[in-house]
Amino acid sequence: MEGIIQPYNDALVITVLVNKFRIKRVLIDPGSSVNIIRWRVIKQLGLLDQVVPAIRVLNGFNMACETMKGEITLPINTTGTTQQTKLYVIEGDMGYNALLGRPWIHLIKEVPSTMHQALKFPTP
């Protein structure tokens, strides 16, 4: 926990590589049952043609609803480990560029720690 000023209550936010583009402000949320990315990010990456239209309503913990615009599968690279990950695309503002939930956490066999502000997962 070197360099972490105590006390704190920070979320675990990382940067990932997607198609050689660095996406900052990605929230790791073990409480989320889906992976989400903002429409604006997909547009900036030039990947709108890869979005598969799908209509679903996502509910937040505060019962706020957000209708997704579609889904997309992207290669997400974190420290040399790349996994094809399905993300739901939403247009609304959520404070982060993307949210990686339990599906991604389980996919890479990750153990997130907000206390240590770190991720642990097996690498080759």
CB 35 within 8 A of CB 98: yes
Q: Residue 61: its pLDDT value, please? A: 60
Q: Residue 63: its pLDDT value, please? A: 67
Q: Residue 96: its pLDDT value, please? A: 93
For the chain, domain boundaries: 21-120
21-120 classified as CATH 2.70.210.12: no
For the whole model, what pTM was predicted?
A: 0.86
| DSSP class per residue in 73-124 | EEEEEETTEEEEEEEEEE-S--SSSEEE-HHHHHHTT-EEETTTTEEE----
Spell out the per-residue pLDDT of the chain, length 124, in tens.
566 667 767 788 999 999 889 999 999 999 899 999 999 999 999 999 999 998 888 877 666 788 889 999 999 998 778 899 999 999 877 889 999 999 999 998 888 888 777 888 887 7
